[in-house]
Amino acid sequence: MSEDGTRPYAMTISLNVLNHLGINLYSNVSAVLSEVVANAYDADAEVVKIDLQRTPPRIVVEDDGSGMDLEGINERFLTVGYRRRDSELKGYSEKRKRPVMGRKGIGKLSLFSISNVVEVYTTTDGVEKHAFRMDIEGIRAAIEGEGGVGTYEPEPISTDSIDFDHGTRIVLPALKKSMTNLETGLRKRLARRFSILGAEHGFQLEIGGREVTVADRDYFHKLQYAWAYEDEPAAGALLDQCTNADEKIVSGVGRAGDQNEFQVTGWIGTAFTSSSLKDEHNDKLNSITLMVRGKLAHEDLLEELNEGGVFRSYLIGEVSANFLDLDDEADIATSSRQKIIEEDPRYLALLAWLRKEITRIGTAWSRLRDQKGTTSARTNPLIDQWFTRLGPDHRKRAQRLFGKINQLTVDGERERNELFAHAVLAFETLRYRENLDALEDMSGEQVTGIAAIFNDIENLEAAQYHRIVVQRLTVIEKLKKLMDENALEKFIQDHLFQNLWLLDPSWERATDRAKEKRIGTTFAEIDEKLTDEERNSRFDIKYKRMSGSHVIVELKRPEVVTNSTELLGQIRKYINALRKFLRDTGVDEPVETVCVVGKDLRDWADPDGREESRQILGAVNARVVKYEELLDNAQNAYREFLDGAEELSQLRAILDSLAEESGQEVGLASEAPASGSATPDAATPDAGPEH
């Protein structure tokens, strides 16, 4: 305290700022302490030590940074909203020229969200020492006494405990939460909030006397596949952390923006199992975090992408995009610095890059996982024999099923054979019913109970469907004999929407007519905005709600010639409208689009044109079918069904052998147990993919 009785420290603040940017800014200890660590980094500290003291309970954070003199305390630390990057040093630290993390000057207020009292001890040279105490109730009293905006003078306290030459010590002695089990969780969370920890960055963080390292993130060992967006040797060093990974891929530094002007680094991975991303401390590991200048800036970019399906539940990653925090550009971080203002073009460029990468990784993930599962399954000669007899499309589905089983941990070969026996049984049963989509929607864990689910299918149902198939084949064969090209097109135009089994045998009949009517109204609004050329290029477009899928079918006029890009642009507006409708109604189910055309697409004539076309349209789950191909495709699909039915006796022998090896009996649908052993509804379970 000065000779005239006034206190040397002063903070001017409003009650509104205190409440919203102090007490309520963060909800957890790790987020608050990360602001203290970031301030130490900006102050050129090389070591930051966090001590969680039990008696009395308090948290002490000490750094060996530059410290503060009286001017620095009042003009920077106690100035709420101090804009460091407007100073003479701009966005760099004084000694080590680090790109600083702080920008808004409000992080220090967050200390009051976990402690009612904050003590600060600091020195720049070991001679001029300063120490003061801030009390939340004292701040409130000072502010309220001056009409909601006032000056608070922190209380000077003894500097005798300052035993360091330079740096700052912050003590939180009046904690609002218990410190029980705090250290383990705090170590993980702080390790995950910074990418600049370690000797290579010249910055060390310690908790309880033990250094926090990248290994403390405690998730790299969970990765099965990992993609690094770094140049060598940084990529190699990062991938070395993934000690158990089956595949490690160096993708190189990412480039975002229309001109590839923005650089993205970091990594994206997929876990062995989705359940492994459920942290014991309830932290959200199934996310892709965003780092800016070495510090967490967004907790989950996946939330912005609406990535759906089973694949999403296996994703984890961390990307760095320093172009989002340039000194000469607008600040696009929210007040808590854990989110980004969504409308900024730089952020949109990052999301576009990430969306593209996740699509690419999803394709690779499916391929890698299916390959590994299939390789494991086919080591059994009986499974190999069964798999070899499958047709190409069913073989792909079986690969995906084996991929799911491959995610499960089993105790031995006996248990593995039992799982494969159940999987083969379920696959053949559902193939017989043309309902393999039910397997697609199951998680690996659900496969373990698959025999009980599918053993109670009635023979009568199978026989009835067998008769339907035979009738449909007879109709198809007559149509092929009687119709010339024009008659075929006219028939399809008149009847396809009511007989979607011509496009896919699993599409028995449309459901939810009310929803179809509402979507039809939305499509009509889009049609009103089409050009005459777009409108005249087709007969009709319709939405149908099928079992487990939402289908858009567009019938092009037979004489129209288009290409994949034009077709994509035409159908995307309908796809987007349907997806928005589904999101608004809380539905997360796949959308499929089929375009029926009379002529080859123009780009099919290019080298590899058909494959490139498939990839372009496949990105939105769309495909093209020619009028002349419809009957052939349908005929082949139903013949495959009949061939599969004839193979059931052969499958019986395979399953009996597998059951004998695993030590138990496995039943086929054709030899189902007595009625009542399983509920009828079990044949079509509601359980979706694990999230």
Question: What pLDDT score was predicted for residue 341?
Answer: 65
- Helices 609-618 and 564-584: crossing angle in degrees, nearest 10, is 20
- How many folded domains does the chain comprise? 4
Question: What pLDDT score was predicted for residue 393?
Answer: 80
pLDDT at 20 over 70: no
* 190 pLDDT tier (thresholds 50, 70, 90): very high
Residues 6+ apart with CB under 8 A from 568: 616, 617, 620, 622
- 23 and 90 co-located in one domain: yes
Q: How far apart are CA 345 and CA 338, in angstroms?
A: 18
Over residues 636-662, mean pLDDT: 56
Residue 479 resides in a domain: no
Question: What pLDDT score was predicted for residue 682?
Answer: 28
Question: What pLDDT score was predicted for residue 205?
Answer: 97
**Contact (Cβ atoms closer than 8 angstroms) between residue 40 and residue 168:** yes
- 136 and 182 co-located in one domain: yes
Range of the domain at 236: 219-353
Over residues 203-224, mean pLDDT: 94
Over residues 353-371, mean pLDDT: 89
Q: Which amino acid is at 437?
A: D
- 55 and 23 co-located in one domain: yes
- 205 and 225 co-located in one domain: no
- Helices 459-482 and 485-495: crossing angle in degrees, nearest 10, is 140
| Comparison of pLDDT for 431 and 536, the residue scoring more | 536
pLDDT at 473 over 60: yes
Task: Name the most confidently modeled range: 236-245, 279-288, 464-473, 508-517.
Answer: 236-245
Question: What pLDDT score was predicted for residue 289?
Answer: 93
Over residues 249-260, mean pLDDT: 93
Question: What pLDDT score was predicted for residue 482?
Answer: 57
The mean-pLDDT minimum among 68-72, 176-180, 325-329, 378-382 falls in 325-329
- 178 and 225 co-located in one domain: no
* 14 pLDDT tier (thresholds 50, 70, 90): low
pLDDT at 337 over 50: no
If you write DSSP's letter for every residue of 162-181 in order, what string do you get? --SSSEEEEEE-SBSS--TT
Instruction: State how far Cα 659 lies from the chain centre.
Output: 39
Residue 245 resides in a domain: yes
- 84 and 198 co-located in one domain: yes
At 49-65, the pLDDT tens digits run 999 998 889 999 999 99
Task: Name the most confidently modeled range: 101-105, 130-134, 648-652, 657-661.
Answer: 130-134
- 189 and 288 co-located in one domain: no
pLDDT at 597 over 80: yes
Burial class (CB in 10 A: 0-12, 13-18, 19+), 423: buried
Which of 186, 211, 236 terminates a domain? The answer is 211
The DSSP bridge pattern shows strands 262-271 and 254-256 to be: antiparallel
The number of beta carbons lying within 10 Å of the beta carbon of residue 509 is 11
- 199 and 324 co-located in one domain: no
Instruction: Output the pTM of the full model.
Output: 0.59
Residue 625 resides in a domain: no
Over residues 241-245, mean pLDDT: 93
| Comparison of pLDDT for 408 and 215, the residue scoring more | 215
**Contact (Cβ atoms closer than 8 angstroms) between residue 365 and residue 406:** no
The mean-pLDDT minimum among 367-371, 453-457, 500-504, 644-648 falls in 453-457
Which of 184, 211, 238 terminates a domain? The answer is 211
- 384 and 349 co-located in one domain: no
Residue 480 resides in a domain: no
Is residue 475 helix, strand or coil?
A: helix
Question: What pLDDT score was predicted for residue 488?
Answer: 67
- 616 and 656 co-located in one domain: no
Over residues 630-659, mean pLDDT: 61
* 22 pLDDT tier (thresholds 50, 70, 90): low
* 435 pLDDT tier (thresholds 50, 70, 90): low
CATH number at residue 33: 3.30.565.10
Residue 36 resides in a domain: yes
Is residue 369 helix, strand or coil?
A: helix
Residue 636 resides in a domain: no
pLDDT at 534 over 60: yes
pLDDT at 544 over 90: no
The mean-pLDDT minimum among 229-233, 317-321, 447-451, 535-539 falls in 447-451
- 224 and 207 co-located in one domain: no
Q: How far apart are CA 588 and CA 609, in angstroms?
A: 32
Per the prediction, the chain carries an average pLDDT of 78
pLDDT at 459 over 50: no
Closest CA to 365 of 433, 326, 320, 307: 307
pLDDT at 528 over 80: yes
Residue 57 resides in a domain: yes
Question: What pLDDT score was predicted for residue 50?
Answer: 96
Question: What pLDDT score was predicted for residue 284?
Answer: 80
* 556 pLDDT tier (thresholds 50, 70, 90): confident
Residue 492 resides in a domain: no
At 568-595, the pLDDT tens digits run 998 998 888 888 888 888 877 888 999 9
- 286 and 258 co-located in one domain: yes
Over residues 97-107, mean pLDDT: 73
